[in-house]
């Protein structure tokens, strides 16, 4: 369950939803989660929000109480459900960073994924890809003015400098 940041007081926040679920005995956590821009936003801004994540084992009990969730939960079960990570060069090491994406990121269209910055900024390769097309993603710059990530694939990364990938700039 995803809520846009500053959704307003007429909608329950992710934290309020989580509190309700916990009162029902459902184990959950609230995490930062970005989604693609809405179709009606001419500026194409990445939507930032927070998402209530329920432990997979608790899903059947949750659907039994809230039948309207059967569809979305079924869709999620089709996806890998794991997080997407990127590497970031730091002063003396390379860190693994979990990208703050809503759990349905594997179902986004290529255009939606690109709008969030999940494609290489140089060659455009979709960095969500699995199998033989999979490439390591590097965080290679600050978030753009639209709020998108700046990622570069391994083959497009500038040459290594002083033992550390020059991706920090």
Instruction: Tell me which residues touch Zn ion (CB under 5 A).
Output: 120, 122-123, 125, 153, 156
Q: Which is nearer to Zn ion, 72 or 154 (CB)?
A: 154
152 neighbors 137 (Cβ within 8 angstroms): yes
**Positive/negative CA dihedral, 30, 35, 37, 38:** negative
Nearer to Zn ion, 97 or 122 (CB): 122
CB of 151 to Zn ion, least distance (A): 9
* Closest to 83 measured CA to CA, from 117, 28, 128, 114: 128
Q: Which is nearer to Zn ion, 29 or 123 (CB)?
A: 123
CB of 150 to Zn ion, least distance (A): 12
Q: How far is the CB of 134 from Zn ion (least distance, A)?
A: 13
CB of 125 to Zn ion, least distance (A): 5
Nearer to Zn ion, 42 or 130 (CB): 130
- Return the percent helix, strand and coil in the chain, to nearest 5: 30, 25, 45
Handedness of CA 150, 155, 156, 162 (dihedral sign): positive
């Amino acid at each position: 369950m995803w809520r846009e940041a500053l959704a307003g007081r007429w909608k329950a926040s992710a934290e309020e939803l989580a509190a309700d679920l916990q009162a029902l005995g459902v184990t959950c956590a609230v995490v930062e989660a970005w989604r693609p821009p809405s179709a009606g936003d001419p500026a194409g801004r990445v939507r930032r929000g927070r998402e209530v994540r329920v432990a997979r084992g608790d899903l059947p009990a949750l659907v039994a109480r809230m039948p309207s969730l059967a569809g979305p939960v079924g869709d999620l079960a089709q996806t890998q459900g794991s997080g997407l990570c990127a590497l970031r060069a730091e002063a003396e090491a390379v860190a693994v960073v979990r990208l703050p994406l809503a759990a349905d990121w594997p179902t986004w269209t290529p255009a939606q994924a690109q709008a969030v910055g999940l494609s290489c900024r140089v060659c455009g390769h979709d960095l969500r890809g699995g199998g033989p097309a999979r490439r390591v993603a590097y965080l290679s710059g600050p978030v753009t003015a639209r709020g998108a990530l700046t990622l570069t694939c391994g083959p497009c990364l500038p040459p290594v400098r002083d033992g550390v990938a020059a991706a920090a700039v």
